[in-house]
A and B are shown apart, each in its own frame.
Chain A
Amino acid sequence: MSLDKEKIKHVAKLARISVNEAKVDSLTKDLNSIFKFIEQLNELDTSNVEPLTSILNESLRTRKDLINDGKIRDKILQNSPKKNDEFFVVPKVVE
């Protein structure tokens, strides 16, 4: 599998990263060389190996069902580029 320019633009769009046209060529080259390495790993037959989701052989740490957070609206809103007293304000999203 190799990446073409269109795929690069698509992935950039999904990730909300702006990529200027001049950089697309060099990005395609870089990413394709990374992909080549991954392809190489794919030569190994792993069909009988369960995917490893963590290297720690432990279960998830849990917490009790208690309310001990929240009520910090000013802190939550402070970095928003646009806001009012209660809400984040974002450009109109219309369905």
Chain B
Amino acid sequence: MSKEKFDYFINGEKGKYEVVIGLEVHAQILSNSKLFSGSSTKFGGDPNNQVSLIDSAFPGMLPVINEECVKQAVRTGLGLNAKINNFSVFDRKNYFYADLPQGYQISQYKNPIVGEGKVLLDMPYGSKEIGIERLHLEQDAGKSIHDMDPSNTYVDLNRSGIALMEIVSKPDLRSPEEVNVYIKKLRSIMRYLGTCDGNMQEGSLRADVNVSVRKEGDKNFGTRCEIKNVNSIKFMQMAIEYEATRQVELIENGKGIDQETRLFDTKKNETRSMRSKEDAHDYRYFPDPDLLPLKLEQKLIDDLKKSLPELPDKKKERFIKEYGLNAYEANVLVSEKEISDYYEEVAKLSDKKLAATWMMGDLFAMLNDRGLDISKSPISAKHFAELVQSIKSGEISGRIAKEVFEIMVESGENPKKIIESKGMKQQSDPKELEKMINEIISKNKDKVDQYKAGKEKLFGFFVGQVMKLSGGKANPQLTNEILKKLLKN
């Protein structure tokens, strides 16, 4: 693969600007019940039906932490190659909002459960390391619904108190594309670990995006703006482009940038200031007196570390070594655990390289067309492996294989049966082919003479005739060989 050069800059009138991005990703922890209460975390339940007296902040209620949420945070930290802190503290982050019944969010401020780590990104211009600043546990807020009533806001507290991991990156990202790859990588790691389902439509993964710009080559960071709560990668990318361009214009017009919180308006495709959050940064953090510090035994951390599954980076290395894939193929095939499982099942039963090619080509295109996950594939890994083997052994040609593939998608049948019953087997008997080719030669004497006189383009014509006569079933390689031989005579 050719190494492209990194070239994302905002071009102003007075020069090129580099964009500096840091993300605060909020990832919902996969657990049955909430961080500090026993109500369900299930998505899409009846409003306010998954709420306890704790989640709705009735007086006198005391929070008790869910041990599984703590383990999930530790697993994620380990997956991010991060330092796990044996001692962490829960703090109250105070702000007033209708969907926050406590008047504060329980979060971790000075002593988070996970410290510095790193994530590796595969970019066309090489591998890039993105630093993780920290990961901390916190509660989610409820949901405000503004469009059900013209003069009121409705509040649903089902989400209130669900455990989140806030994963804070260092300001190491430099383009919307790097943000895209970073989010996908985080998502992939967490899905491998089973700590977050990464479902952005349901809000399980969303991010606050910090953006600043600086002249190319500058060492100091510019003033940043924070774009709150963006819930799709596409919107993150659009918000970054808009915000970076806005900042460059301000700088070039000699105006300063205010450090502020902004909102991305997905309808107008612009960011704007959130004046209502003016006081929001006055959070008055202090340790939550209802909760003791969280102390983790080293043994618990070690045990969790031992029980981690193979993660994408490791699996990629193994795929390259074990299956002879190139880096690009391995990258695609490990991106989702389900995809890698499917591939491994196919590769065990068939040609490893050909299996990768056909999976990434026809299988992915078909799944994409139908909007299906690989777990819902109409073709089982076993059948797919049989198809690959039929191509490898020369039983069918690549062109016929595409037809067989289509029939497999529609019928769910096993490829052997399809090839058998439809007589699709490739013609690989040299004697049969010779007979056919001799027939074509004798019928096209004029063309043979022209070919012999040097018009080599006509070779394609003869191949075409063989394919036509055989109904596309002639073995292409063998056809070429025999044709060359007989045309020489």
Contact = CB atoms under 8 A, between A and B. Distances in A.
Are A and B physically bound partners? yes
Interface of A: 13-14, 16, 51, 53-54, 56, 58-73, 75-77, 82, 84, 86-95
B280 to A, nearest CB: 10
A60 B98 CA distance: 29
Given A14-B96, A63-B38, A65-B33, A76 B157 contact: yes
A71 B295 CA distance: 32
Interface stretch (B5-13, B48-56, B177-185): B48-56
B38 A67 contact: yes
Contact of B98 (A13, A61, A72, A90): A90
Contacts of A51: 110, 287
Looking at chain A's contact residues, the main secondary structure is: loop
Contacts of A72: 51-53
Contacts of B287: 51, 53-54
A75 B157 CA distance: 13
B153 A70 contact: no
B48 A87 contact: yes
Interface string B24-39: 0000000111000111
B32 A92 contact: no
Most buried by B among A16, A61, A62: A62
Contacts of A73: 46-49, 51
Given A16-B96, A86-B47, A95-B274, A75 B53 contact: yes
A86 B48 contact: yes
Contacts of A91: 152-153
B145 interface: yes
Contacts of B455: none
20 contacts: A14-B284, A16-B103, A51-B287, A53-B292, A62-B70, A63-B38, A63-B64, A63-B65, A64-B66, A65-B69, A67-B33, A69-B33, A70-B50, A70-B52, A76-B53, A84-B154, A86-B154, A87-B47, A88-B157, A89-B152
B292 A59 contact: yes
B276 interface: yes
A62 B67 contact: yes
Given A14-B96, A72-B52, A62 B146 contact: no
Contacts of A75: 53
Contacts of A68: 33, 38
Looking at chain B's contact residues, the main secondary structure is: loop
A95 B265 CA distance: 10
B223 interface: no
B65 to A, nearest CB: 5
B145 A87 contact: yes
B293 A60 contact: yes
Given A53-B293, A76-B157, A92-B152, A69 B37 contact: yes
Nearest to B37: A69
A8 to B, nearest CB: 14
Contacts of B292: 53-54, 56, 58-61
Contacts of B157: 76, 88
A95 B51 contact: no
B375 interface: no
Nearest to A55: B292
B307 interface: no
A88 B48 contact: yes
Nearest to B41: A67
B456 interface: no
Contacts of A60: 65, 291-295
A76 B56 contact: yes
A44 B142 CA distance: 43
Nearest to B145: A87
Interface in B135-178: 144-146, 148-149, 151-157
B322 interface: no
A92 B153 CA distance: 5
B44 to A, nearest CB: 14
A90 B54 CA distance: 20
Given A14-B284, A16-B96, A60-B65, A71 B294 contact: no
B4 interface: no
Nearest to A92: B153
A65 B154 contact: no
B166 to A, nearest CB: 19
A41 B70 CA distance: 36
A12 to B, nearest CB: 12
Contact of A90 (B69, B152, B263, B279): B152
B68 interface: yes
Contacts of A69: 33, 37-39, 52, 54
Contacts of B291: 60
B32 A65 contact: yes
Interface in B67-100: 67-70, 89, 94, 96-98
Contacts of B144: 90, 93
Most buried by B among A54, A76, A87, A89: A87
Contacts of A70: 38-40, 49-52
Contacts of B98: 88, 90, 93
Most buried by B among A65, A72, A76, A93: A65
Contact of B146 (A56, A84, A92): A92
Contacts of B68: 64-65
B381 to A, nearest CB: 32
